[in-house]
Amino acid sequence: MAISDLIINSNNDTVIELHNIHLSNANKDLIDQLLKEFKYIDKLNQYSLPVDNKLLLFGHTGCGKTTTAKAIAAALNKKIFTLNLGEIVSSRLGETAKNMTAIFKKASYEKAVLFLDEFDYVGKIRDYDDKDSGEMKRLVNTVIQLIDHLPNDTLLIAATNHSSIIDTALLRRFQLKLKFEAPNTSELDNYYNALLKPFPEEFRNIERRYAISYAEAKDIALRAVKNKVIELEEAKEMNEIEITSN
C-alpha cells in the first residue's frame, strides 16, 4: 500500500483560523508559545534549545481537536498529513510499523505537521491478550522511537478522546498536552451567537440546546437556520401559487 493511500490530505480543507476557535485560556497560551517557538526556531537552535514539537490534544469528543490541529498547521504555514491510527492498525496490523516509519520519514522530510488521530488505538490494543499482542508491542516501541527522533522543525500532533488508556511511555513523549472539555452554558451561548451572526435577524431565533459539544451545537444551529430558509422559500412559493390561481 502506498503512503499516499494512508494519509488523509487535509490541505485543501476549509480551515478555521485559531482566533475563531473557542479555546480555553490555558490552551491558547500553550498554542501561542508553540507558534512563537517555531517562529524563532533558528535562533533557538543557535542556543541548542529544543522546540516543543510534540503536542497531545485530549478530552471530550466534538470540541475542536481536529479543527485546532488544522488551524495550527495553517498558522505555521506547514503541510498537514492526517493519519487515522484506528484505520491503519485494524486493517493492516502486520505492516503498521513499517507504514508508520515511512509516514514519519515523509513528514520529517517535508518539515510538515503530522496529525495522528485516534492515538489511543495503539494503547487500547496493546494490552489485549491475543495473537496480535506481540505485533502491537513492537508497534508501540516503533512509535516511541519515531517520536524520540522527530526533527525539531517537524510538528507531531496526536488526538484522543481516551487519554487514560494510552501507555505512559507514549504520554511522556509529549511536551504539551491540551485538554478539551465540554463547553458550559455561557460558552455555548457565545458559540451560538458567533455561528448565527452572519445570518439575517429573522433566522437567528432558534431553539438552543446545552450540555452538548461544539460540533453538536453547530449541527443543531445550522440545521435550524436551513429549516427557516426553506420555510420562507416554501411560503413564497405558496403565495405565488395563490396569486397565480386568483
Determine contact, residues 214/183, Cβ cutoff 8 Å.
Answer: yes
Residue-range domain boundaries for the chain: 3-180, 185-245
Mean pLDDT of the chain: 87
pLDDT in tens, 173-184: 999 999 999 899
Determine contact, residues 48/56, Cβ cutoff 8 Å.
Answer: no
Structure confidence at residue 242 (pLDDT): 72
Q: What cell was used for 171?
A: 504520554
pTM: 0.83
Determine contact, residues 62/22, Cβ cutoff 8 Å.
Answer: no
Q: Which of 124, 121, 123, 104 is nearest to 113 (CA)?
A: 104
pLDDT in tens, 52-86: 999 999 998 888 999 999 999 999 999 999 988 87
Residue 5 scores a pLDDT above 70? no
To 5 degrees, how large is the angle CA 32–CA 182–CA 200? 85
Give the residues across from 55 on adjacent strands.
157, 176
CB count, 10 Å around CB of 182? 17
Please tell me the least confidently modeled range out of 41-45, 99-103, 152-156, 237-241: 237-241
The three state secondary structure string of 3-30 is HHHHCEECCCCCCCCHHHCCCCHHHHHH
Determine contact, residues 185/210, Cβ cutoff 8 Å.
Answer: yes
Structure confidence at residue 6 (pLDDT): 59
Tell the residue number behind the cell numbers 490534544, with chain if given: 57
The CATH T-level fold of domain 3-180 is Rossmann fold (3.40.50)
Give the mean model confidence (pLDDT) for residues 34-45: 96
178 SS3 class:
strand
Determine contact, residues 160/166, Cβ cutoff 8 Å.
Answer: yes
Residue predicted with more confidence, 165 or 77:
77
60 SS3 class:
coil
Give the mean model confidence (pLDDT) for residues 141-150: 93
DSSP state of 175: S
d(CA 183, CA 243): 49
pLDDT in tens, 201-234: 999 999 999 999 999 999 999 999 999 999 999 9
Structure confidence at residue 92 (pLDDT): 62
Determine contact, residues 27/178, Cβ cutoff 8 Å.
Answer: yes
CB count, 10 Å around CB of 69? 24
Residue 148 scores a pLDDT above 90? yes
Residue predicted with more confidence, 4 or 39:
39
Percentage of the residues of the chain whose pLDDT score is greater than 90: 61
pLDDT band at 243 (very low <50, low <70, confident <90, very high): confident
Structure confidence at residue 10 (pLDDT): 56
Residue 1 scores a pLDDT above 90? no
Structure confidence at residue 94 (pLDDT): 67
